[in-house]
Amino acid sequence: MDERAALALLSGELDAAGDDAAIVDDLVVTTDMLHERTDFPNGTTQYTAGWRAVGASLSDVAAMGAEASAAVAAYAVPEFTRADLLAFVRGASDVCDLVGAEYVGGDLDGHDEFTVATTAIGRLADDPVTRGGASTDELVCVTGTLGRSAAALEFFERGDAERANDLFRFEPRIAAGRALAARATAMMDSSDGLARSLHQLGEASDCGFAIESDRIPIHDSVRAVTDTDDDEDALERATTFGEDFELVATVPESELDAVREATAVPVSVLGTVTAREDGITMDGTELEDRGFTHG
Amino acid sequence: MDERAALALLSGELDAAGDDAAIVDDLVVTTDMLHERTDFPNGTTQYTAGWRAVGASLSDVAAMGAEASAAVAAYAVPEFTRADLLAFVRGASDVCDLVGAEYVGGDLDGHDEFTVATTAIGRLADDPVTRGGASTDELVCVTGTLGRSAAALEFFERGDAERANDLFRFEPRIAAGRALAARATAMMDSSDGLARSLHQLGEASDCGFAIESDRIPIHDSVRAVTDTDDDEDALERATTFGEDFELVATVPESELDAVREATAVPVSVLGTVTAREDGITMDGTELEDRGFTHG
C-alpha cells in the first residue's frame, strides 16, 4: 500500500481526517513528520530545518483559515549538539513569530536519521474552510508564487546552499488564509503541488477546474534554474513539484476584490471552477494528477 | 551532549518548556517521539503501539491536571500495510476514547525505522499543576502501581507477547489528574521512573522528599518476573525503570481524603515533602537520581 492509499484508508476511518488539519471544537490541529532522506537535502541548515518543519504545519493551519496559536516539535538526531539544537529552535521560533504563534518546544529523541515531527494548533475565528465547498463558475486562485522549493532543490544540488536555504524558508500564509477565510468556498495548501492540489480540491468539492498556464505565478528563482527559453520546464516545476506551501482557494468572483484588499500577499486567479465531468484542464487539455504526496 | 543536557538547554531557551506539557492560553500541548529500537520491543503489536504512543502524550496532559481534548500521531514505517495501519489507529482511538479525547489522525511517512510522534492537547479547567509548587510537610503520593512496564519488558523477552502487550497498554491518568488538579501543589508523570521523578519535582519545587519503600505500590506482575524472595529486585524495577505513566503529586495532608474520594484510582502516600537540604531519601538513605530519560 503506498502513502496515498494509506491516507485514503485513514480518511475513511477517522471523521476528522482528510483535510489539511483536523477540527476539534474551535481548534485546528495538524501534524507532519519530515526526515533527512526525503525532506532535508544536503546543505539544509538546522535553522532552515526548524523553520521549514514548523512552517509546514503552520501552512496547514493557514489552509483552514485559522489563526495560528502554537507549535511543538519532536526533534530526533543521532547526536545532539548545542549549536544545532539552538539553531533548530531559533528557526522554529522565528517562523512562529512571523505568524503570531508561540513555539512551545517539544521532545528530543535519539534516532539514526535526523527526523522532525511538528504539530501546529490554530484557533478558528470564522467557520473553517475545508476542501469541499467549491461551486461552478467561482474563481480558483493561488497566493504568492510557485516553484520556490523546486528551485531550492536545484540550488542545493549545485552547492549554492545559501540561496537554497533562503528559498526553503517560506512564510506560512496565515494572514492570507485569514483574509480568505470568510470568503473562500474551498481551500488547501499547495504542499503536494498545484496539479495534485487541484485534483484533491476537485474530488472533495465534486468539481472540475479550467486553468490557464500563463496565469500561474512562477517564482523568479525558477528562471534561474531552467533554460530561459524553456517555458515548459519552468511550468512543469511550478505546477508539479510542490512543497511551496501557498494556498489554493476557490472564491466567488464578487469576493475577489475584498480578498485582495484584505491581504498583502498577491492572490492570482488561475481560472474557474467547472463541472466535475469537464475534468481538470490547463489551456484546455487535461492536467494530470502528478506531484508529490507528502502525507 | 546527552538528551538530559539537551532538554535542560531547551528548557532555558523556551519559556513554555520544562514541564510535562506546555501551556498556551487555556490549552496544554505535549509531543513525544517513540521508535522501534528504543520503545517498541519485539512482539509489540501495532494496536499496542498506537495505544501506548498516544497514551504517553495523554499522560503528560494528565500531569498538568487538564482535560484531554484531542491527539494526533505521525506514523512512519518502511512499508504501509492495511492491517498494521488500522490496528495502530484502533489502538490510538481506543486510548483516546478511554479518557474522553478525540483521536483526529495525523500524518503518514515512509521511514527506515518504525517511528511514531504523537501530540496531545488538553484544556485547563483549573489552574495548571506544574512541577514547582510543593511545600515542606505535604504528602507525596503516586496513583495506581509501579513496575508494569518493567514487567512487560521481561515478558517480551520471554516471548510472552500477549501478557506483555496487555501490560504495555496503560490507562492515562486523566481522571485522577483532574481529581488532583485543584488540590495537588506539584505534579508530573512517572514516565522516567519514580526516582527520577522525585529528583525532578525536588529540583523544580526546591524541596526534598522522604519516602518509605514499603509504601511503594508495586504492580503484581513485577512479582511474576522477579524472584519472589527478592524484594530488592522488585523495588528496583518499580522505582527506576519508569514508563509507568502514573502521576506523582504532592498534596497537603488535609486534602488527601478529598483527592481519594474524587477518583477511582488508588492514590498511595509514599512519604513527605522535606527541606531541599534533606535530600531525596528512601528509608532514610539517599535515593539516587537513576532512571530512564525519555525526553
CB pair distance less than 8 Å for A110 and B3: yes
Which among B30, B109, B111, B118 is the top mutation candidate for probing chain A, defined by the most A β-carbons within 10 Å of its own β-carbon?
B109
Q: Smallest CA–CA separation between B223 and chain A, in Å?
A: 31
CB pair distance less than 8 Å for A119 and B81: no
- A39 among the known binding-site residues? yes
Spatial distance between the Cα atoms of A40 and B51, rounded to a whole number of angstroms: 30
CB pair distance less than 8 Å for B82 and A1: yes
Residue of B190, B108, B237 lying closest to A35 (CA atoms): B108
Spatial distance between the Cα atoms of B85 and B89, rounded to a whole number of angstroms: 6
Task: Name every residue whose Cβ is closer than 8 Å to that of residue B176 and which is 6 or more positions away in sequence.
Answer: B62, B143, B144, B247, B263, B265, B267
Q: Which residues of B140-176 are buried (b: 16+ CB within 10 A; e: fewer)?
A: bbbbbbbbbbbbbbbbbeeebbebbbebbbbbbbbbb
List pLDDT tens digits, range B95-142: 999 999 999 988 898 999 999 999 999 999 888 999 999 999 999 999
The pLDDT value recorded for residue A295 is 41
- Domains in chain B (CATH in brackets) are 3-123 (3.30.1330.10), 139-286 (3.90.650.10)
CB pair distance less than 8 Å for B117 and A121: no
Spatial distance between the Cα atoms of A139 and B176, rounded to a whole number of angstroms: 52
Helices (H) and strands (E) in chain A, counts: 11, 12
List pLDDT tens digits, range B178-235: 999 999 999 999 999 999 999 999 999 999 999 999 999 999 999 888 877 778 889 9
- A250 among the known binding-site residues? no
pLDDT by 10s per residue, chain A, length 295: 777 777 777 766 665 556 889 999 999 999 999 999 999 999 999 999 999 999 999 999 999 999 999 999 999 999 989 999 999 999 999 999 999 999 998 888 899 999 999 999 999 988 899 999 999 999 999 999 999 999 999 999 999 999 999 999 999 999 999 999 999 999 999 999 999 999 999 999 999 999 999 999 999 999 888 877 778 889 998 999 889 999 999 999 999 999 999 999 999 999 999 999 999 999 999 999 987 655 4
The three-state secondary structure class of B17 is: coil
Instruction: Give B54's contacts in chain A (Cβ within 8 Å).
Output: none
How many Cβ pairs closer than 8 A exist between chain A and B?
186
- Would you tell me the crossing angle of helices B148-158 and B231-240 to the nearest 10 degrees? 110
Nearest to A108 among B7, B34, B111 (CB): B7
Nearest to B82 among A9, A89, A107 (CB): A9
- A38 among the known binding-site residues? no
Positive or negative torsion for Cα B236, B238, B244, B245: negative
CB pair distance less than 8 Å for A103 and B14: yes
The pLDDT value recorded for residue B295 is 40
Assembly ipTM = 0.90
- A106 among the known binding-site residues? yes
Q: Beta-carbon neighbour count of residue B112 at 10 Å?
A: 15
Q: Smallest CA–CA separation between B96 and chain A, in Å?
A: 13
Greater model confidence, B201 or B295: B201
* Residue A19 near residue B97, CB atoms below 8 Å: no
CB pair distance less than 8 Å for B38 and A7: no
Cell numbers placing B1: 551532549
